[in-house]
């Protein structure tokens, strides 16, 4: 049995964070019904690296977090469309939305209205700044929250200035947090019989990802500064190797530091009273960094990795293609290949989840849906007759 088998999720979200949340639930068996606007659907349907998929509204970026779902296209701005959504919410277990705060309430689909109809409903609202507060109604995306939160300001170098992450880390981290919150709320509902409203904020997620830095600032008055690829510990920093490639070291504890010194032929460093105790290296960091930098320039990065990695955390800095080509990536099964018309190979590779489970686990059952392709089946599931379906189509409330 799948963890969320028998759980019906109404997914009113779009772009990345919300859809990734419901994707994780769908991979574990939830019946996720993606409620989309009737003209073009989710914005990411028209985005991606495979240009041939964009005109059909099946962009590969959309595919990354929408497999295992069904799609129905409803015009929520029409009275009949909003009424249909309320009817569906009465029978659903979970609702996930990531509109700006107040939008769902204005449509008659806010938590208070729907929980009155279905007290067991777990209602998850995912937004940039949360559902309340002076900035709650601001429109944002991942990069904007990175800028606002301070995450950008502590990334980069003094010369580069603030840099955003190369990947939309806050979208995916917020989606993961939302999925965890939904799972917790469903567990609580099993005991209490009550649903609840979950308020997931991308800003809060950003702060959570910076927990140690926030602790240093608030509890010790130490403000973060951009430190490029360097760590507070010189032996857990990045160095240029003989071939010009970079090698990242991760010798954070005493055992690892001692092993590093032995393996790189610098026993003198661990015997030096300035560096001998990793807990007291901070005042002498610059001297230790200089010594390690000189040594790391004596061999290519791949040789250092081969020498160190089994004992001391270390890795040659790879690009994404190199990392995915590594045999370990294939072994771990984080990626799956699905049939996908419109590509040169009629197939597409998509990520699943970042864990395995020996009793079951994340599993792909169906390919991402075309816009509104499941409308008739979904409406029948919620008890609407053929005549009622035809009426809703005629009045423009649904696209069938």
Which residues carry out catalysis?
Answer: 231
DSSP-derived secondary structure letter, 368: P
Taking the alpha carbons at both ends of the chain, their separation in whole angstroms is 32
Contact between 358 and 68 (Cβ < 8 Å): no
400 vs 396: CA distance, rounded Å: 10
Helices (H) and strands (E) in the chain, counts: 17, 14
Judged by DSSP in three states, 32 sits in: strand
Identify which of 175, 242, 191 has the alpha carbon closest to the alpha carbon of residue 11.
Answer: 175
Tokens in use for 305? 């990795």
Q: State how far the alpha carbon of 234 is from the alpha carbons of 210, 229, 265, in Å.
A: 21, 11, 17
Identify which of 327, 332, 370 has the alpha carbon closest to the alpha carbon of residue 351.
Answer: 332
Sheet with 238-240, strands from edge to edge, namely 238-240, 246-249, 314-316
Helix (H), strand (E) at residue 348: strand 347-351
**E strand residue ranges, 93-178:** 94-97, 122-127, 156-157, 161-162
Tokens in use for 282? 């901070």
Q: What angle do CA 121, 96, 372 make, to 5 degrees?
A: 110
41 vs 324: CA distance, rounded Å: 31
Bridge partners of 70, per DSSP, are 33
């Amino acid at each position: 049995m799948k963890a969320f088998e028998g759980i019906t999720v109404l997914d009113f979200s779009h772009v990345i964070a919300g859809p990734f949340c419901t994707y994780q639930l769908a991979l574990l068996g939830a019946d996720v019904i993606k409620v989309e606007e009737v003209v073009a659907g989710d914005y990411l349907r028209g985005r991606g690296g495979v240009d041939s998929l964009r005109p059909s509204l099946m962009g590969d970026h959309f595919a990354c977090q929408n497999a295992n779902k069904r799609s129905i296209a409803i015009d929520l701005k029409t009275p009949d469309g909003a009424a249909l959504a309320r009817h569906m919410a009465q029978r659903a277990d979970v609702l996930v939305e990531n509109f700006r705060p107040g939008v769902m309430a204005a449509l008659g689909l806010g938590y208070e209205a729907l929980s009155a109809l279905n007290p067991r409903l777990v209602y998850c609202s995912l937004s940039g700044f949360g559902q309340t507060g002076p900035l709650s109604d601001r429109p944002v995306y991942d990069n904007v929250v990175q800028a606002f939160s301070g995450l950008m300001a502590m990334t980069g170098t003094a010369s580069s200035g603030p840099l955003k992450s190369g990947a939309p880390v806050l979208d995916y981290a917020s989606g993961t947090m939302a999925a965890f919150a939904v799972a917790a709320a469903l567990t609580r509902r099993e005991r209490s019989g009550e649903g609840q409203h979950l308020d997931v904020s991308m800003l809060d997620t950003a702060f959570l990802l910076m927990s140690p830095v926030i602790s240093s600032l608030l509890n010790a008055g130490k403000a973060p500064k951009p430190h490029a690829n360097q760590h507070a510990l010189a032996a857990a920093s990045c160095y240029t190797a003989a071939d010009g490639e970079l090698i990242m070291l991760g010798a954070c504890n005493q055992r690892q530091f001692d092993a590093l010194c032995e393996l790189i032929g610098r026993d003198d460093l661990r015997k030096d009273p300035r560096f001998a105790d990793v807990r007291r290296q901070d005042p002498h960091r610059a001297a230790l960094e200089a010594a390690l930098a000189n040594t790391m320039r004596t061999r290519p990065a791949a040789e250092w990795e081969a020498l160190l990695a089994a004992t001391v955390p270390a890795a040659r800095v790879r690009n994404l293609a190199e990392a995915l080509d590594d045999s370990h990536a294939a072994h771990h099964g984080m990626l799956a290949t699905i049939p996908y018309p419109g590509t040169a190979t009629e197939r597409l590779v998509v990520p699943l989840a970042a864990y395995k489970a020996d009793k079951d686990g994340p599993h792909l059952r169906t390919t991402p849906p075309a816009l509104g392709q499941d409308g008739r089946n979904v409406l029948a599931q919620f008890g609407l007759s053929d005549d009622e379906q035809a009426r809703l189509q005629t009045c423009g409330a649904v696209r069938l």
